[in-house]
Amino acid sequence: MSVLVFIDTNEGHVKKASLEAMTYGAKVAEQLGIAAEGVVVGTAKDDLAALGKYGVKKIHHVNNPALDHLDAQVFTKAIAEVATKTGAKVIVFSNNVDGKSIAPRLSARLKAALVSGAVALPDTSNGFIVKKNVFSGKAFANISLNTDVKIISLNPNAYQTIAGEGTAEVVIADVTIDTPKVKVTAVNKVSGEVPLTEAEIVVSAGRGLKGPENWKIVEDLAHALHAALACSRPVADAHWRPHNEHVGQTGTAIAPTLYIAIGISGAIQHLAGVNRSKVIVVINKDPEAPFFKAADYGIVGDAFEIVPKMTEAVKKIKG
Amino acid sequence: MKILVCISKTPDTTAKIAFTDNNTKFDTSGVQWIINPYDEWYSLVRAIELKEADASTVIHLITVGTADAEPIIRKALALGGDEAIRVNTANADSFYIASQIAEVAKQGGYDLVFTGKETIDYNGSSIGGMVAELLELPYISLATKFELGGNKATVTREIEGGEEVCEVNLPAVVSCQKGVAEQRIPNMRGIMAARTKPLKVVEPSAADTLTAVASFELPPPKAGVKLISPDNVEELVRLLKEEAKVI
Ligand SMILES: Cc1cc2nc3c(=O)[nH]c(=O)nc-3n(C[C@H](O)[C@H](O)[C@H](O)COP(=O)(O)OP(=O)(O)OC[C@H]3O[C@@H](n4cnc5c(N)ncnc54)[C@H](O)[C@@H]3O)c2cc1C
């Protein structure tokens, strides 16, 4: 019996969200008195044995370059076989782009209850109940998973990674690998940027910036903080910024440790995607802006004056 | 080309979120219902665009829900689509809903099943993947672009820090998000036409539920904002470092 963690990779490197998933999976395994194991699909460039420090004892490597790009159908079949062979009781994913693609398929294949967007460890005192985000961050639901095998898809940034000691035993998984039907023809990376959903710090700006030509001050602050960029919906709609930066109820939902909102009013639909951030800083010239009600720190003033000053102050403090 | 578009009914984005019955049920009093924005703005509109490009395209809409979902499905028909199917059952869990959709899809012989990226109430992002697995079809999730060339779809999907362009032969299941299409507003002609479009009600097929909601809870309220003078930006940065410890 095991808790099996899907260890997701990007160009062969283990994603940050998967370190969280492993730490979480190891804790679930401890709760259940069984061992945590991992499964990696595709070529790996990182030292997989070293992932033992996140609590996984054994890693099943489906080592086939045909699987360097995601085809959820093929991945699901391979992971299902590993899960069955290892007698997995709980299968853990990160609720990131790949997790959202594979976990539901696996749930249907194994007829295993799935909770996606989990934010806490299971409560096993009476059944198996996992807390998840619902209503776009405005509430939580406690979901009872009523099957023998259970699947948990953990929200990125919801569980702190802990690195301890130990190495994992790495074994090559002997599973069926179907020919992928989804053919990846191009990968376009926004180079040098921190991926939004994995970012610890996000600097976000809204219509208060007046136009795309004014984004330099926002980018400079993000750069100084090693932060990802985000924006409000009208900003993306007007093509001032790319769609993938749109956060909120109808954009990407994020939960960084620090969210800095510049010239964003804080409409309910915007807040829905960012209110799980640990600390929120609001810079807005309107003291009545609703965002201040959701903020931890705020400055009432003109973004064009405040943001460059903040960048300087950050550079100074960081040395 | 035959397309099935999944339509979900969700509370309006400004709805007050509260619970009743000892925090086990969503309080629907005073709630306005809308088409789940991802379903409406992206998957439905993209399907309509495909029909505009090729008039032989047939679009069916499907919703799993009781009769009170009908105004929503009529509203969706006002945007476009040839007919709608309602599977007459109360929403249970994702697997149950996906099983209903898969059953209808199987019988309808669709080339393409579109879902939204997620619903804005349950935020499951699960239906598309489950339907694809139940139908044993390829699944591309979180599409930001969808093009059709004969029987082959070229789909751009979100990945961490960028995007990936994929090709897949139909039939397939695709979940759509921003980028796939632009929101449309229904016009009077569409609204009139929707009244007479067929809305078929079918009874649910046997399927299991795997999960249940034990209870809901609201997040604890925020302590309140600490305001810093605009003349003292350095103080804000100091607080972020020393008090909040986030930089
Ligand atoms: C169904 C639905 C879904 C939606 N989904 C989303 C979503 O996912 N994400 C989202 O963001 N929105 C969403 N919206 C839109 C949302 O309601 C707001 O309209 C939007 O968030 C406003 O964007 P904004 O704050 O950038 O612009 P505005 O509301 O125009 O606010 C601009 C702010 O900038 C401030 N400002 C102006 N100049 C300066 C300056 N020099 N210095 C400092 N501050 C300044 C103003 O005081 C104001 O508060 C949705 C709406 C609907 C109806």
Give the Å distances, CA to CA, from B23 to A117, B36, B215: 20, 24, 6
Interchain proximity B160–A109, CB inside 8 Å: no
What SS3 state is found at B140?
A: strand
Distance CA(A125)–CA(A282), nearest Å, equals: 40
Q: Do B179 and B144 touch, CB atoms closer than 8 A?
A: yes
Q: Do B175 and A72 touch, CB atoms closer than 8 A?
A: no
Strands A183-189 and B162-169 turn out to be antiparallel
Query: Which chain A residues contact residue B145 at CB under 8 A?
Result: none
CB atoms within 10 A of CB B212: 16
Domain regions of chain A by residue span: 2-172, 196-318
Counting ligand 1 atoms within 8 A of each CB, the residue from A247, A270, A288, A310 with the most, and so the one to mutate, is A270
CB atoms within 10 A of CB B193: 14
H/E element, B109? none
Q: Which residue has the tokens 């996992």?
A: A130
Distance CA(B214)–CA(A131), nearest Å, equals: 10
Comparing CB atoms, the residue among B14, B138, B142 nearest residue A181 is B138
Closest residue on chain A to B16 (Cα): A138
What mean pLDDT is predicted for residues A1-17?
96
pLDDT in tens, A99-140: 999 999 999 999 999 999 999 999 999 999 999 999 998 999
Q: Where residue B185 falls among pLDDT bands split at 50, 70, 90?
A: very high
Instruction: Tell whether the model's pLDDT for residue A245 goes beyond 70.
Output: yes
**Preferred mutation among B22, B28, B122, B131 to probe A, highest tally of A CBs within 10 A:** B122
What mean pLDDT is predicted for residues B168-177?
98
What mean pLDDT is predicted for residues B86-115?
97
What pLDDT is stored for residue A191 in this prediction? 59
What mean pLDDT is predicted for residues B91-106?
96
Comparing CB atoms, the residue among B41, B157, B240 nearest residue A258 is B240
What pLDDT is stored for residue A6 in this prediction? 98
Comparing CB atoms, the residue among A72, A103, A185 nearest residue B167 is A185
CB atoms within 10 A of CB B68: 11
Average pLDDT of chain A, as a whole number: 96
Interchain proximity A146–B213, CB inside 8 Å: no
Distance CA(B153)–CA(B124), nearest Å, equals: 25
The minimum-distance atom of ligand 1 relative to the CA of A235 is 26
Distance CA(A196)–CA(A128), nearest Å, equals: 31
CA distance B196 to chain A (A): 31
Q: Where residue A319 falls among pLDDT bands split at 50, 70, 90?
A: confident
What pLDDT is stored for residue A189 in this prediction? 84
What mean pLDDT is predicted for residues A209-238?
97
CA distance B132 to chain A (A): 7
Closest residue on chain B to A313 (Cα): B234
What mean pLDDT is predicted for residues A55-66?
97
Comparing CB atoms, the residue among A140, A257, A318 nearest residue B217 is A140
Q: What angle do CA A271, A276, A282 make, to 5 degrees?
A: 55
Q: Do A306 and A287 touch, CB atoms closer than 8 A?
A: no
Closest CA to A276 of A190, A202, A175, A180: A202
Residue B76 Cα to ligand 1 midpoint, Å, equals: 27
Q: What tokens appear for A270 in the block?
A: 């915007």
Does a cis peptide bond (omega within 30 degrees of 0) precede residue A290?
no
Domains, chain B, in order of start with CATH, read 2-220 (3.40.50.620)
CA distance A112 to chain B (A): 7
Closest CA to B113 of B68, B55, B46: B46
The minimum-distance atom of ligand 1 relative to the CA of A289 is 49
Query: What is the assigned CATH class of domain A196-318?
Result: alpha beta
Q: Which residue has the tokens 């019955």?
A: B21
Q: Do B232 and A304 touch, CB atoms closer than 8 A?
A: no
Query: Which chain A residues contact residue B134 at CB under 8 A?
Result: 108
Query: Which chain B residues contact residue A117 at CB under 8 A?
Result: 123-125
pLDDT in tens, B30-49: 999 999 999 999 999 999 99
Handedness of CA A218, A220, A221, A223 (dihedral sign): positive
Interchain proximity B139–A138, CB inside 8 Å: no
Phi, psi of B138 (to 5 degrees): -65, 155
Residue B50: strand pairing partners? none
What mean pLDDT is predicted for residues B117-142?
97
Interchain proximity B13–A272, CB inside 8 Å: yes
Instruction: Tell whether the model's pLDDT for residue B223 goes beyond 90.
Output: no
- Beta carbons within 8 Å of B18's beta carbon, 6+ residues apart: B26, B27, B218
Interchain proximity B219–A140, CB inside 8 Å: yes
CB atoms within 10 A of CB B198: 10
Q: Which residue has the higher pLDDT, B82 or A194?
A: B82
Query: Which chain A residues contact residue B139 at CB under 8 A?
Result: 72-73, 101, 105
Counting ligand 1 atoms within 8 A of each CB, the residue from A265, A299, A300 with the most, and so the one to mutate, is A265
Helices assigned H by DSSP within chain B: 37, 45-53, 70-79, 94-108, 127-135, 188-196, 233-242
User: If you write DSSP's letter for every residue of chain A in order, what string do you get?
Assistant: -EEEEEE-EETTEE-HHHHHHHHHHHHHHHHHTSEEEEEEES---S-GGGGGGGT-SEEEEE--GGGSS--HHHHHHHHHHHHHHTTEEEEEEESSHHHHHHHHHHHHHHT-EEEEEE-S--B-SSS-EEEEEETTTTEEEEEEE-SSSEEEEEPTTSS-----S---EEEE-----PPPSSEEEEEEE-TTPPPGGG-SEEEEE-GGG-SGGGTHHHHHHHHHHT-EEEE-HHHHHTTSS-GGGBBSTTSB----SEEEEES----HHHHHHHTT-SEEEEEES-TT-THHHH-SEEEES-HHHHHHHHHHHHHHHH-
Interchain proximity A117–B124, CB inside 8 Å: yes
The CATH number, out of the four listed (3.10.20.30, 3.90.1330.10, 1.10.220.10, 3.40.50.620), of the domain defined by the range A2-172: 3.40.50.620
Instruction: Tell whether the model's pLDDT for residue A192 goes beyond 80.
Output: no
What pLDDT is stored for residue B194 in this prediction? 96
Q: Residue B147: how many CA atoms within 13 Å on its side-chain side?
A: 6
Which residues are near ligand 1 (CB < 6 Å)? A 206-208, 232-235, 248-251, 263-265, 267, 269-270, 273, 283-286, 289, 302-304; B 13, 37
Q: Tell me which residue has its CA closest to atom 25 in ligand 1.
A: A264
pTM: 0.95
Q: Where residue B91 falls among pLDDT bands split at 50, 70, 90?
A: confident
Q: Where residue B161 falls among pLDDT bands split at 50, 70, 90?
A: confident
